[in-house]
Amino acid sequence: MANIKFLPPEPTGGRVRASVRVDVSALPAINRRMELNERLLDATCAFSDPSNWRFGREDLELLLLVTHERFGGESALLRRQAVLALGEFDSEEAIRRLMVLTVDLAEHDSIRIAALRALGLRGHELIDQFCGDLSPVIRDYALSVRAGSKPERRHRTGQVPQDRTDCREEDEACRKVC
């Protein structure tokens, strides 16, 4: 057993540090990224309106950047939403990035499928290639698309389904949500 007299003393206050607030109002690039992140994540809420999920040409560079950010568990949903958002663009850069994500075996299956769905009909020629993919998830998805049981259109952002089991027509709050 280790002798505890050789361990340095615990600093007073324990292992907690005070939080620091930073004013980012003077940093437009950070504000643009925070606003884009909010728009991407808003579409995952069951109570938000997905019709305002629009991206302009000014968002393309940031969306491409988000799709390159890997290996952070906290941004996995954000990255997937950015991949789906790239499907809204008819830009050569966006299509090329979606193609790379689709064929990259190092990518997670959910990212590859999201990229394939975002390509829509533009990725139709890849379906036959993925019917023999190493990943059973990708292979099953490609086989179902080829069989016609999955939509081949461009995919809009996924939205969490609403639980309407307790919804009553006369309930005013429920009518607003449902």
Place of tokens 């259109």: 153
Residue 141: per-residue pLDDT = 86
Question: In 3-state terms, the chain is what percent helix, strand and coil (to 5)?
Answer: 55, 0, 45
Residue 82: per-residue pLDDT = 93
Residue 85: per-residue pLDDT = 92
Q: Are the CB atoms for 86 and 118 separated by under 8 Å?
A: yes
| Three-state DSSP class for residue 173 | helix
> In which band, very low, low, confident or very high, does the pLDDT at 173 lie, cut at 50, 70 and 90?
low
Q: Are the CB atoms for 86 and 64 separated by under 8 Å?
A: yes
Closest by CA to 66, choosing from 24, 99, 101, is 101
Residue 63: per-residue pLDDT = 93
Closest by CA to 67, choosing from 43, 50, 91, 84, is 84
